[in-house]
Structure 1
Amino acid sequence: MNTVSASPAEPGARTLVWDAPVRVFHWLLAACFAVAWLTSESERWQLVHVTAGYTMAGLVAFRVLWGLVGTRHARFTDFVRGPWAAVDYLVSLAERQPQHHAGHNPAGGLAIVALLALAALTTGAGWASYHELGGHWLQEAHEVLASIMLTVVVVHVAAVILGSVLHKENLVASMIHGRRQVPAREGIRRPWRVLAALLLTGVLAFWWLQWQSAPVSEQPVPLTRHERHRH
């Protein structure tokens, strides 16, 4: 159950809210999307682009599963609300009397669902296009979905910055150390560091396998002096 309070905990009070798997997922997904976007137009870095995309797909699958069986504030039931709940939260921001949620607020929850859906669709279209399973429209769909996802990311980052100012709390830092200024009763018991380590290890192992399978570019054979003179 998503808890709304009139005010946050006492200044200085820090309660563990985000488990380690959620935090590792968050930053890995952000990094993979950035890498995929930056390498999208380069033939030279195609393998890096594909690897980042496949990693995003795996991360989304993990997050969906963890959203069903994970810790309190990682579960979809804690932060997925209807559009009117998001509107109410945004109105509270405009009135400079923001609702305080221990986990994701309703607007942030919608953004997370949108990002997960867009990541799945983008990587799916990219995979199909890469394996030439459809026409040129799949490539165009892949690019359009990636652009929409970038827009959602920008809006999400702007909302986090605004929320940090209005809530007087560094929300970016909380996704690093996992703690927020909320009452202790709203916290979680375990950080699940082992699962986070397994997630990170799995991603790194996949990257290593992709690197090992990379085709070796043939180096040109240097010409002899006689051949250089002939040319």
Structure 2
Amino acid sequence: MAAREGYARDGLETRGVLMSSTPLRKVTVWDAPTRLFHWSLVLLIAAAYLTAEFGLIDWHFRAGYAIIALLLFRLAWGFVGSDTARFSRFLQNPLKAIQHLAHFTRREPDTEIGHNAAGGWMVLVLLALLLIQVGTGLFSNDQVFSEGPLAKYVGSAMSDRLTGLHELNFNLILIAVILHVLAVMAYALVKRHDLVRPMVTGWKRLPESMPAPRMANAGLAVVLFAVAAGIAWFISTLG
């Protein structure tokens, strides 16, 4: 057993040496639409939280409609966008996510193109929670003056229940966001992987032998977002 562990450790060390000596090049791994979606969502979630806390309901709804537009765009982009944005490329077998986390403390070069096996599922969880949040928000009310554009279609009792779910679900979103931030920090401290810079710049250094992911046309992203924004605007007019 000790000999086997020694071989495994030597193999990892050899791999690290080989990787460190491999020629690297800049590779675009995140397209501009995906990065804009990510950071815009960060700002809008913060805006939704603050406007709710300070009772700025009109602005809270505006933030919510903007989030709806972003989510509709991201869902479409997950099917027709760049390789690293597609659900089919980053959603892997859950067992692979568990295996990835099991080797989390192993320090090795960052050669991931896009989300890793565990990160892909975190993205799916966050998107699902946000869809629940905006969906319940459309039927919610503040029990005083304001209500979502679809609240009148379900009655006051159902609207109250969905309002409660809306408030509970936001706590789940906060927990998920905190876990996401902690995970990014853990990757930086334990594995020395910088996950933030590629999401800002779009690129990372990878071995020359690794093929670059295909990037979708930015014009397609503009069209998809325009359609998503139009749908969000239409929903806002139903109240």
Aligned partner of 1:115 in structure 2 is: 126
- In structure 1, which of residues 124, 128, 133 is the aligned counterpart of residue 135 of structure 2? 124
CA RMSD between the two structures: 3.0
Question: What is the TM-score normalised by the length of structure 1?
Answer: 0.75
Tell me the distance in 2 between the aligned counterparts of 1:124 and 1:50: 12
AA paired with 1:102?
A: I
Tell me the distance in 2 between the aligned counterparts of 1:169 and 1:204: 35
Q: Retained in 2: the 8 A contact 1:102–1:186?
A: no
Matches within 5 A, 1:17-166: 17-43=29-55, 45-97=56-108, 100-129=111-140, 130-131=147-148, 132=151, 133=154, 134-166=158-190
Q: 1:78 to 1:183 in 2, by over 3 A?
A: farther
Tell me the distance in 1 between the aligned counterparts of 2:109 and 2:99: 10
Paired residues, what number? Answer: 204
Question: 2:229 matched to 1:187?
Answer: no
Moved more, 189-198 or 17-26: 189-198
> Structure 2 stretches of 5 or more lacking a match?
1-14, 141-146
> Structure 1 stretches of 5 or more lacking a match?
1-5, 214-231
Equivalent position SS for 1:188: coil
Q: Retained in 2: the 8 A contact 1:92–1:99?
A: no
Tell me the distance in 2 between the aligned counterparts of 1:25 and 1:122: 17
Equivalent position SS for 1:103: coil
Identity of aligned residues (%): 33
